[in-house]
Amino acid sequence: MPYIAIEQTLSIKRFSTYRQAVMAADGKNCGVKALQLYEWNAELSSRFFFPLHIYEVAMRNAISDAISIRYGQDWPTNTVFQNSLNDLDKGTLLSAISRNYQGVGKLLPEMKFVWFENMLTSRHDGRIWKPYIAQTFPNAPTTMTPQNIRQALKSACYTIRKFRNRCGHHEPIFNNATLHEVYPFIVQSLDWRCTHTRQWMDSNQSVTELLEMPVV
């Protein structure tokens, strides 16, 4: 196989990350193994998109449900809710509404996921999470306070979102410090929301299988 040609096509700078990882692991430069690592990284990114997809849809729906309990089914147009947001999140919401608003169902996938992550900050504890998190995440441990549950969901969401962005931009994930945390975070958050959905996702994913077969 013409490894040098492939390396040049992908760019020597991009490929150097994989060469260096192989050198660090084996003590020698090996283009063949570097390409195998590149293939493994790309395949793992691909496999992650199924659980990432389920997690993102489930979380934005859960957060929307919590907001709707407090502010009504048409919460995006509720001015009291709008004014409870910081300037950046309010601007993002108003901008999305201005683009031919057709209800919550159409709006949710148009919003960047970081907006939903920001709804998991302490700013919204008193209005949303302390009174309603048990309804929204009914399987969360009863030994945890609403604030602790919200904090755990926020921390997981940050890690998962950053990781998803790396996958989406075709960046290396094999050397990501959170690689082995991401799927457990997805499982936990989803399980707190709906055990049946978590079981279905878990039975159809192939991430954990590939994680057990690292190249380096």
Categorize the per-residue pLDDT at 1 as very low, low, confident or very high, splitting at 50, 70 and 90.
Answer: low
Question: pLDDT by residue (tens digit) across 11-28?
Answer: 898 999 999 999 999 999
Q: Is the pLDDT of residue 95 over 70?
A: yes
Q: Round to whole Å and give the CA distance between 104 and 60.
A: 11
Question: pLDDT by residue (tens digit) across 115-145?
Answer: 999 999 999 999 999 999 999 999 999 999 9
DSSP state, residue 123: G
Domain ranges of the chain: 47-211
Question: pLDDT by residue (tens digit) across 156-204?
Answer: 999 999 999 999 999 999 999 999 999 999 999 999 999 999 999 999 9
Q: How many CB atoms lie within 10 A of CB 195?
A: 12
Q: Round to whole Å and give the CA distance between 38 and 30.
A: 12
Dihedral sign (CA 50, 53, 56, 62): negative
Task: Quote the pLDDT of residue 10.
Answer: 86
